[in-house]
Amino acid sequence: MSYDTAITVFSPDGQLFQVEYAMEAVKRGLCCVGVRGKDVVVLGVEKKATSKLQDVKTIKKIYQLDHNLCMTFSGLNADARILANQTRVECQSYKLNYEDDPTVDYIAKYTSQTQQKYTQKGGARPFGISTLIAGFDGPQKPKIFQTDPSGACSEWKATALGKSGKQVKDYLEKNWKEGLSEADAVLLTVKALMDVVESGNRNIEVCVVAFNGVRFLSEAEIDALTKAQ
């Protein structure tokens, strides 16, 4: 039997090869980083180099799901767009039903549950992305969750996904500290990305998620941070 063509069939050693292939798509994707600070979460991503004729605003690596909830990813862009749109609808549905903002934990588990459904459904393939979901459960309660194509969901203090993800994660393990300020968290994120981004600051995007909203750093701010190293 061809175990790597049927999504619902296990191999003799207990593997679902289509899920393994989806994880390989994640490993080949552009790097993304998440760093939790005292009262912020910083997301940093490596962006693909674009043509001069292309509108860079149409290429998104960080999606805002709610007023203080964001998602970034490594893997297939089209899959990420679909998953982000589904998650946005769930955020609004939660607000209508409960008249409150959804927690980061709830949205992360919803996202991972959606991904898991596609690992046991015939006629479909798994999502070829891993995500980092960052947000707040309350004032000074920042959180980062990672979801994988298998449907796994876990909370992190700082982590990295994608190409060179292991190298970046090793750097974060050595340099991350509890209670980082916003400035220190942003600087750590940029330094971690600069180790693996070949084209410099032009291909880096940084987002600061705070309890009262989301802010994207300008090119000038990123340029100043890279020169300060």
- Average pLDDT, integer, range 83-109: 96
pLDDT digits (tens, 9 = 90+) for 182-218: 999 999 999 999 888 866 656 889 999 999 999 999 8
Please, what is the average pLDDT of the chain? 90
pLDDT digits (tens, 9 = 90+) for 140-151: 899 999 999 999
pLDDT digits (tens, 9 = 90+) for 66-84: 999 999 999 999 999 999 9
Q: Rounded to a whole number, what is the distance in angstroms from the first to the last CA of the chain?
A: 55
Task: Report pTM.
Answer: 0.92
- Average pLDDT, integer, range 83-94: 97
